[in-house]
Chain A
């Protein structure tokens, strides 16, 4: 049982490049989330998904896209990377909305130069 797995762990992008951050979970969780973490700030929600085929925007969705074709996978795509997207990205999942713990991946550190 690996939990939530994120790849890559580190990536440097040039301005205008695109990339996909991968997230997969093996806990059969329905709800999956992408957050970004900036220094001195609480985690900010980018996108979330309540199940396969269903996604919705969080607080800071601009510049990102997601898809949820399976229960296990929830990739986050950055189109036209900008320096403001330099951050640490965390994927998380939870089974249901009934007072359940969010389980986090180890994070992906992205630098846009």
Chain B
């Protein structure tokens, strides 16, 4: 499963620290955004989503921030754990359309 994400940007964080992963989206009309986590050899797993009428949404240990002015999303992971090591990527969608656009992803490495 290592061929996925071979040339991705990597974020290395110490266990217990907070992680911030960024994503620039492409379509200013997109109004729905999703963060996925992909572990080696597995399919993308849903983490959290946000609609464009919100700037921030919190889940368990995760927060997504949306800045529509600069077309930017971020995923914050609190108290990063070894199990958080994975590739994270964002997806954008214009609700009512079939098309999802996916970012290339960031590899998160958690250092013990």
**A residues at B contact (CB < 8 Å):** 4, 6, 31, 33, 37, 39-43, 45, 48, 50, 88, 90, 97-99, 101-107, 109
Contacts and interface: CB of A to CB of B under 8 A. Distances in A.
The dominant DSSP class at the B interface is loop
Given A42-B103, A104-B44, A98 B95 contact: yes
B104 A105 contact: no
Band of interface residues on B: 20 to 34
Contacts, number: 64
B43 A102 contact: no
Contacts of A48: 98
B89 A40 contact: no
A65 to B, nearest CB: 19
Given A98-B95, A99-B31, A101-B34, A88 B4 contact: yes
A40 B49 CA distance: 23
Contacts of A106: 42-43
A98 B1 CA distance: 32
A107 B39 CA distance: 12
Given A98-B95, A98-B96, A42 B89 contact: yes
Contacts of B41: 107
Given A40-B104, A102-B34, A106-B42, A50 B98 contact: yes
Interface stretch (B5-13, B63-71, B73-81): B5-13
Contacts of A45: 99-100
Contacts of A109: 1
Contact of B46 (A88, A90, A103): A103
Interface in B32-75: 32, 34, 36, 41-46, 49, 51
Contact of A101 (B8, B49, B104): B49
B7 A99 contact: no
Contacts of A99: 31-32, 49, 51, 93, 95
Contacts of A50: 98
A49 B102 CA distance: 19
B98 A39 contact: no
A17 to B, nearest CB: 21
